[in-house]
Amino acid sequence: MKSKREKEETRMSTGAREPNELNRMVARIHAGVLAVTFALIGGFGLFVLTVWLLLKGGPHIGAHLQLLGQYLIGYSVTWKGSFVGLIYGGLLGGIVGWIIGNLYNMVVSLRQHER
């Protein structure tokens, strides 16, 4: 039978190892998966926003969203522009997701080498 002290030492030593094991298990992000996720959100987000404004209608449809046409060549608040926005949103979202995933992994790698 273990004494109270031995039980406490066992519990403390086990508790000290768990955070390190957890850090190793959840430390990495798949940059490709994050890129696809951001691409889907960005592409469908811009598509849905554009279509919503088209269906809503009005005298000045999407005056603020129309300004994206200054940066995204071919984009406008039209049905054609909604599909152009789908492509641009997917492309830009994918690039942003990939960059965030790789930067995160780089920081994790640097932190693991510090220990």
The predicted pLDDT at position 10 comes to 60
Within a 10 A sphere around the Cβ of 89, how many other Cβ atoms?
A: 26
**Helices (DSSP H) in the chain: which residue ranges?**
4-26, 31-56, 79-114
The predicted pLDDT at position 109 comes to 85
Closest CA to 111 of 42, 40, 46, 19: 19
Query: Going residue by residue through the chain (115 aa), what tens digit of pLDDT does each one get?
Result: 666 666 556 655 555 455 666 555 656 789 999 999 999 999 999 999 999 999 998 888 888 999 999 999 999 999 999 999 999 999 999 999 999 999 999 988 887 776 6
This prediction has a pTM of 0.73
The predicted pLDDT at position 110 comes to 84
The predicted pLDDT at position 59 comes to 85
**Domain spans of the chain, in order of start:** 28-114
Residue 72 backbone dihedrals phi, psi, to 5 degrees: -105, 100
